[in-house]
Amino acid sequence: LCLNRLKTLRIISHFDSPICSISSPMASSYSAPSLHAPAPPLFSKKENIIPINSKIVELSESRAELVNRIQGLKQDLQNWRSKLDTQAKSYRDDLSELKKSLNVEVDQLQSEFQELRTTLQQQQEDVTASLRNLGLQDVSGEIKKVEGTDEKVQDLPKENSGKETEQ
C-alpha cells in the first residue's frame, strides 16, 4: 500500500514537470470540464522530496526488520519441526522395542502354558495307568459315577433337596 502511494507520488510529480506537457492540437482545442480545480502546491518541490525520501528510508528499514523477523520465525519453525521429528522417532523406537518385548513375553507365557498343559495331561495319564495297574479301575469308574450324582443333586431345586432330607 505504501509502495503504491509512493509510485503514485512519483507519477504525479512526473506529470507536473514541464517536459511532460500535452501539445496536441486536439488537446488544446478540447477542454473537459474539471471536477476539481487544480490546487496550488502547498510546498515547493524540494520540500516534498525530503518527506518522501525519509518515508522511503523508513519503509526500507521497516521492510528489512520484517524480513529479518520472518527469517527468524522460519528458522524457529524449522528447529521446532526438527525437534518434533526427533521426538516422534524416539517414541516410535521405544514403542517398537516395547512391542517386541511384549511379544517375547507373550510367546514365553504361551510356551509355559503349553508345557503345563502337557505336564498335567501326562500326570493324568500316569495316575490313570497307576490305578489300572493297582486294579482300581472299577473304583475310579465308581468315583466318576458318584461325582456325576453329586452334580445332579446340586442341580435340583431347593424344594426337592429339602424333601429328600426330611425323608
* 127-143 per-position pLDDT tens digit: 999 988 888 655 555 66
Q: Please give the pLDDT value at position 123.
A: 96
Q: How far apart are CA 59 and CA 42, in angstroms?
A: 24
Query: Which pLDDT tens digit goes with each residue over 80-96?
Result: 999 999 999 999 999 99
What is the residue type of 127? V
Amino acid at 16: D
Q: How far apart are CA 131 and CA 141, in angstroms?
A: 11
Q: Is the pLDDT of residue 162 over 80?
A: no
3-state secondary structure of 105: helix
pLDDT digits (tens, 9 = 90+) for 4-50: 555 555 555 444 444 444 444 444 444 444 445 555 555 555 555 66
Output the nine-digit C-alpha cell for 31.
477542454
Contact 132, 120 (CB under 8 A): no
Q: What pLDDT, on the 0 to 100 scale, is given for residue 143?
A: 60
What is the per-residue pLDDT for 166?
45
Rg (CA), the chain: 52
Q: Is the pLDDT of residue 115 over 90?
A: yes
Say which DSSP state 135 is in.
T
Cell of 13: 510529480
CB 82 within 8 A of CB 36: no
- What is residue 28's predicted lDDT score, i.e. its pLDDT? 44
pLDDT score at 135: 80
What is the reported pLDDT for 53? Answer: 85
